[in-house]
Amino acid sequence: MTATPKRFIAGAICPRCAAMDRIRSWENEGVLYRECVSCDFFEQLPVEDTSSPEIETRVNQPRETPADDTIQTVRIITPPDR
């Protein structure tokens, strides 16, 4: 497994020096690393799958097929002249 590139986390504040936008993060062999480029803060965390199941909505449900598959023609009605 190769390491992912180091990327800055937008809006992140360093827990040690309180500098904003100085934290960068990367993953290597199942371990998540974070470090601050302004101070000596460094942290490593195991990568966990904390994803929760997807909430059921009308968008992610299978579509119901209409019971009546007959084709209906559309009739355009032109209004009478006034």
Strands (E), 1-82: 7-8, 23-28, 31-36, 42-46
Q: Is the pTM of this model over 0.75?
A: no
Measured at the CA of 21, the angle between CA 17 and CA 22, to 5 degrees, comes to 55
Percent of the chain with pLDDT over 90: 40
Lowest mean pLDDT among 6-10, 40-44, 45-49: 45-49
Higher-pLDDT residue of 29, 15: 15
Are 30 and 4 contacting, i.e. CB atoms less than 8 angstroms apart?
no
What is the per-residue pLDDT for 62? 81
Strands 31-36 and 23-28: antiparallel
Higher-pLDDT residue of 8, 75: 8
